[in-house]
């Protein structure tokens, strides 16, 4: 794996896991500067496809995105607790695939809670989706936010960009 230093551009893919819709967003950061690259959403066919087909579709879509945009690092949102066990299980399977795709591509995968992402973007850990999308648009003016999932994924990428240096420092201290 290539070691990235602060003066080099680092490409980050943010991922907002979901079985129906998985948001993705790619940014590049050099020092404190953030640059929008691309974003979108992978949608699976809930009514016509089996669970295996949906998970395969999610994996193949993420693999293609990773091959297209060549990120150096990945970040995704941690799952919040779901009251419905069946829904939580399905989300867990999708989240596993979303984590597997970048890991198999050799990327480090960081995880952030929804509150961490919201606080990193808006300064308020309980910001709503509109506030997050507005701040993403402010931080990445050229971003074309085609869905709330894509906006959330870009927010996760920006959160990682803000935290990656301190995370690396902490990792080095633990070694």
Please indicate whether residue 16 is annotated as part of the active site. Answer: yes
Residues 28, 73, 77, 152: which is the catalytic one?
77
Catalytic residue list contains 128: no
Q: Residue written as tokens 């301190």?
A: 166
Number of Cβ atoms within 10 Å of the Cβ of 59: 18
What is each CA distance from 132 to 36, 48, 65, 82, 122, in whole angstroms?
16, 32, 23, 22, 6
According to DSSP, the β-strands at 10-16 and 21-30 are antiparallel
To the query of whether residue 152 is one of the catalytic residues in this protein, the response is no
Instruction: State the catalytic residue, choosing from 16, 28, 73, 152.
Output: 16
- Which residues have a Cβ under 8 Å from the Cβ of 62 and sit 6 or more positions away? 15, 22, 24, 42, 97, 98, 101, 102
Dist. CA 108–CA 117, nearest whole Å: 18
- Annotated active-site residue in 28, 73, 149, 152: 149
Instruction: Please give the DSSP secondary-structure letter assigned to residue 48.
Output: T
Please identify every residue annotated as catalytic: 16, 77, 149
């Amino acid at each position: 794996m290539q070691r990235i230093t602060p003066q080099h551009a680092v490409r980050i893919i943010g991922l907002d896991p979901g079985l129906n819709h998985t948001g993705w967003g790619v940014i590049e950061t050099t020092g404190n500067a953030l640059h929008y690259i691309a974003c979108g959403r992978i949608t699976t066919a809930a009514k016509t496809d089996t669970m295996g087909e949906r998970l395969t579709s999610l994996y193949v879509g993420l693999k293609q995105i990773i091959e297209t945009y060549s990120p150096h690092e990945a970040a995704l949102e941690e799952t919040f607790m779901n009251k419905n066990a069946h829904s939580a299980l399905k989300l867990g399977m999708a989240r596993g695939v979303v984590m597997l795709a970048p890991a198999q591509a050799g990327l480090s995968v960081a995880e952030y809670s929804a509150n961490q992402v919201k606080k990193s973007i808006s300064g308020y850990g309980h910001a709503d989706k509109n506030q997050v999308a507005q701040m993403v648009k402010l931080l990445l003016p050229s971003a074309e936010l085609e869905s709330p999932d894509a906006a959330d994924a870009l927010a996760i990428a920006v959160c990682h960009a803000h935290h990656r240096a301190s995370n690396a420092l902490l990792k080095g201290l633990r070694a």
